[in-house]
Amino acid sequence: MKMIKALIRPEAADDVIEGLAEGGFVSLTKIDAFGRGKQKGVTVGTIHYDELPKTMLMLVVENESVEEVVKLIKYKAYTGYQGDGKIFVIPVDNAYTIRTRDAGL
């Protein structure tokens, strides 16, 4: 299993979530966040915005689905401008459902 964390533009979140749902990936966590990447914020006139709004999507998928999910997120979140986001793929050893005490997805 792998956890996919995608930090994307907030305005792209709904398109990405819809695309994931159409692909059969319906379980995810959505978190509103603030941060900056390589661009170190943005300057508009004389005002510098150090941290920009982002949306973090987190989901856990089987290893075989990683490439499909990453491809989908990259396609749906792409604008071609700095700040489109970043995707992280992290190994997951196991998952546990608290209510049922079951292990696995």
Residue 99's pLDDT is what?
95
pTM, whole model, 2 decimals?
0.87
How many CA atoms are closer than 13 Å to the CA of 43, on its beta-carbon side?
A: 3
Farthest-apart Cα atoms in the chain, separation = 55
Grouping H, G, I as helix, E, B as strand and the rest as coil, residue 82 is coil
Terminal CA-to-CA distance of the chain, rounded, Å?
Answer: 9
Architecture of domain 2-91: 2-Layer Sandwich (3.30)
Residue 52's pLDDT is what?
87
Residue 83's pLDDT is what?
86
Question: 26-84: per-residue pLDDT in tens?
Answer: 999 999 999 877 777 777 788 877 888 999 999 999 999 999 999 999 999 999 988 89
Q: Which residue has the higher pLDDT, 47 or 87?
A: 87
Beta strands in 45-94 (DSSP E): 47-49, 52-61, 85-91
